Amino acid sequence: MPRRVLVLNGPNLNLLGTREPEIYGTATLADVEALCAERAAEHGLEVTCLQSNHEGALIDALHEARAAGDVLGVVLNAAAYTHTSVALLDAVKACGLPVVEVHLSNPHAREAFRHTSYLSPVAETVIAGAGIHGYGWAVEHLARRG
């Protein structure tokens, strides 16, 4: 039975807490990962977290999750790749796992190019604009859906 949630973070999210805090807040990536681990533990789950500035690493992680057999679902903040990556879209579709797309800010309240997500049509759920709390809700959603 799957007992793990995969949390993937895309480009520039390693700079959380210092990059444009007026948009993304002051919480760090370590804070995000701790929150996800805490929420998962409340449901007897583990998390594996990966942040990469490289599209291929995120795609590889989705492929590995598909093959692993112990992954319940994926929390994915693809950052800028949300709006540009057909390859990531294809990997989300191919992984066969429920994916929750997460955005710290509300992309619809920002520049027009951020209004289009290649991932939303294949994500089970989209959470946007809730800061790091969105990650916690995403883990909760995956845990509760089983």
Q: What is the DSSP string of 58-105?
A: HHHHHHHHHHHS-EEEEEEE-GGGGGT-HHHHHHHHHH-S-EEEEESS
Pick the catalytic residue: 24, 81, 118, 135? Answer: 24
pLDDT, tens digit, 9 for 90 and up, residues 120-141: 999 999 999 999 999 999 999 9
In this prediction, residues 36-51 reach a mean pLDDT of 97
pTM (2 d.p.) = 0.93
What residue ranges do the domains of the chain occupy? Answer: 4-145
Domain spanning 4-145, CATH architecture = 3-Layer(aba) Sandwich (3.40)
Q: Is 24 a catalytic residue?
A: yes
Mean pLDDT on 3-29: 91
Is 103 annotated as catalytic? yes
> Which of 81, 103, 118, 135 is the catalytic position?
103
Tell the burial category of 104 from Cβ atoms under 10 Å away from its Cβ (0-12, 13-18, 19+): buried
